[in-house]
Amino acid sequence: MMSTAAQPLDRIFGALADPTRRAILARLSGGEATVNELVAPFGLSQPTISKHLKVLEYAGLVSRGRDAQFRPVRLNAAPLADAAQWLGDYRRFWDESLDRLEDYVEELKAREKSHDGQ
């Protein structure tokens, strides 16, 4: 199960490396779902989907609720921000000319965040 010693980014990128798991996240971006609702669209067994959910949970990308015998799954996107930040360090290599604009926006955003704002 991806060695217990794995770093957060290992788990996050590892979770995203599987198309079924990316599809699960895409589905969850439209709202929470039960396990069976997630099983339906794939040609995969329920235990297989449950295993994928465990990988996503281990990466912090989903969390589970409880509603009678249902265990609703919801998206938790926070770790994706870490992944995006890691990628951000390389942005200038694929998008050199727009780098300064990006920096400017990041600065604006940081400023807005520090002022708070709703």
Give 49 or 75: the residue with its C-beta nearer to a copy of itself: 75
Task: Tell me the C-alpha distance between 35 and 3, whole Å.
Answer: 25
Q: Which does 81 bind (CB under 5 to 8 A by kind): a copy of itself, DNA, none?
A: a copy of itself
User: Does 94 participate in binding a copy of itself (rule CB under 8 A)?
Assistant: yes
Give 26 or 40: the residue with its C-beta nearer to a copy of itself: 26
Task: Tell me the C-alpha distance between 66 and 85, whole Å.
Answer: 32
Amino acid at 16: L
The residue within the footprint of a copy of itself, chosen from 47, 89, 114, 115 (CB under 8 A), is: 89
User: Does 84 participate in binding a copy of itself (rule CB under 8 A)?
Assistant: yes
Nearest alpha carbon to residue 80 among 21, 3, 5: 21
Task: Tell me the C-alpha distance between 95 and 97, whole Å.
Answer: 6
User: Does 17 participate in binding DNA (rule CB under 7 A)?
Assistant: yes
Question: Which tokens is 44 given?
Answer: 């995969």
Residues 46-65, interacting with DNA (CB under 7 A)? 46-48, 50-55, 64
